[in-house]
Amino acid sequence: MKRLVLLLIFLGSGLWAPVSGARRPSVLLICIDDLRPELKCFGAEYVHSPNLDRLAATGRAFTRHYVQAPTCGASRYALLTGRYGPRDNGALFRHANNEEIRQSNLPAWFRKHGYTTVSIGKVSHHPGGRGGKDWNDGGKPEMPGAWSRHLCPAGPWQHPRGLMHGLANGEIRKNAGDMDVLQAFDGDDSSYPDGPTTDG
């Protein structure tokens, strides 16, 4: 069964501070789909991850998120909506125009309560669905109105769909069956998508 690790970090005046007149806490949500939680704070003693361990210790770490299908789309759908969805990657696209889901998803809740919501990377493909150089093609929105901003600089990968597979030096995944199971390129941070995403 698919397992998704979620760190929810509350910084500032405390989790349950009243919203009216009081300073609201800042919220940092780190989602990791399709990965095992290979961090010391999640039991991997051989991993040296002091900064993430410190974040997990001072925030709320959720370690039990299960979905019905081993796809990124199903896990992101369950995480962002709190619902079971279809078993494939199209769940958020197909339900983008369902008004109940549009109003009740996690980023929409935060926006409704005065927060600025920023998606960095592949939390969702909004605002432009899968098209456009930087997911800016408004023809196929995945979660309309959910995010205030979406940061996903494509760099040498040309478009976010190429970027999201994480291959080195702008390589774009073609047929997964023809690819190596593991890629390890010896280069600086800009060799992989994390570099441009961090700089963006």
User: What positions carry a catalytic annotation?
Assistant: 72, 125
Per-residue burial over 63-89, b = 16 or more CB atoms within 10 Å of its CB, e = otherwise: eeeebebebbbbbbbbbbbeeebbeeb
Tokens of 109: 């809740």
Contact indicator for 35, 102 with CB cutoff of 8 Å: no
**Element (DSSP H or E) covering residue 7:** strand 5-11
Report strand pairing: 5-11 vs 26-32.
antiparallel
Instruction: Give the three-class secondary structure for 26.
Output: strand
CA distance 182 to 184: 7
